[in-house]
Amino acid sequence: MIKSFFSNHNKQALVALHSAVLLFALSGLFAKWLNLPAIVIVFGRAFFAAITIAIFVLLFKKQSLKCDKSTLLALAVTGGILAFHWGSFFQAIKVSSVAIGLITFATFPVFVSFLEPIFFKEKFCYRALFQALLTVVGISFILPQDHVEINVVEGAFWGTTSALSFALLTLLNRKFVVKSSAKTIAFYQNSFAGLFLLPFILLNPVEISTEQLVVLALLGIVFTAFAHSLFNYSLKTLSAHTASIAVTLEPIYGIIAAYFLLNESISLLMVLGGTIVLATNVWALKNR
């Protein structure tokens, strides 16, 4: 009975984990579905996510979202990085394709392995340097081989930048806000992300149709707030290592979805490059 209980509990956690990763992967498609600048998409995503989390925690859970001033400052900094991360991620997909954006973003575990010794004054591992080089090789395969397509190169640049910023966000979260609850971190980081982008939105107003607003709300509520809730729920049972391995499946889910929903093509070299990137990241995560 006890063994069966834990087995079922693990299954529920795994379903929640892979559902969250699938939702994360599908969020990239919104860059194509929303005829809006990347900065507007990020603002809307953060705004609706923060509102959803606040309603859930304060009204339904009857819990507090208070935190001390030093933690609030750290959350403000990481909220700004989150805004930049999402902005560069959606920009990568807008200028190129979902596949390019997701594969290049998938390099973030290698950046984490490379930067972690610097952040926490740990011994540097030369394996991380080799993994970084392997990742560059993988990305080179998804770029045009016969002639340079500026939009693909630009997409790869923004996707890799998104990966680097997400690695910084991960490390800063570990260093400064590890004591806060996941819901508190998510609420304040989304709130600060929206707050930092608000001046740009006010200075460059964009007309949004009702249909686009509904799609934007869907991105913020289901594919951000709900997805992160599922992800955090899975971490109560599963290890961070298991979760990290699952996250490397995000490009695969996203590319398959883009193939069927957006009619994006997938080349053999793209598959090869993506395989190298994903295999390198699984290796990096396995040795952390």
DSSP conformation class of 54: H
Distance CA 226, CA 237 (A): 18
Question: 3-class SS at 178?
Answer: coil
Joined tokens for residue 92? 């990568």
Residue 258 neighbours by CB under 8 Å, 6+ apart? 28, 29, 32, 97, 98, 99, 264
User: Look-up: residue for tokens 């090789």?
Assistant: 137
pLDDT one-digit tens code per residue, 11-41: 888 888 889 989 999 999 999 999 999 999 9
User: Look-up: residue for tokens 């693909």?
Assistant: 152
DSSP conformation class of 258: H
pLDDT one-digit tens code per residue, 94-114: 999 998 898 888 888 778 777
Distance CA 203, CA 226 (A): 31
Written as one string, the DSSP assignment of 77-144 is: HHHHHHHHHHHHHHHHHHHS-HHHHHHHHTTHHHHHHHHHHHHHTPPP-HHHHHHHHHHHHHHHHHS-
Closest CA relative to residue 102, chosen from 288, 270, 217, 286: 270
pLDDT one-digit tens code per residue, 148-184: 678 888 999 999 999 999 889 888 887 776 677 878 8
Residue 63 neighbours by CB under 8 Å, 6+ apart? 57, 183
Give the pLDDT band of residue 3 (cuts 50, 70, 90).
very low
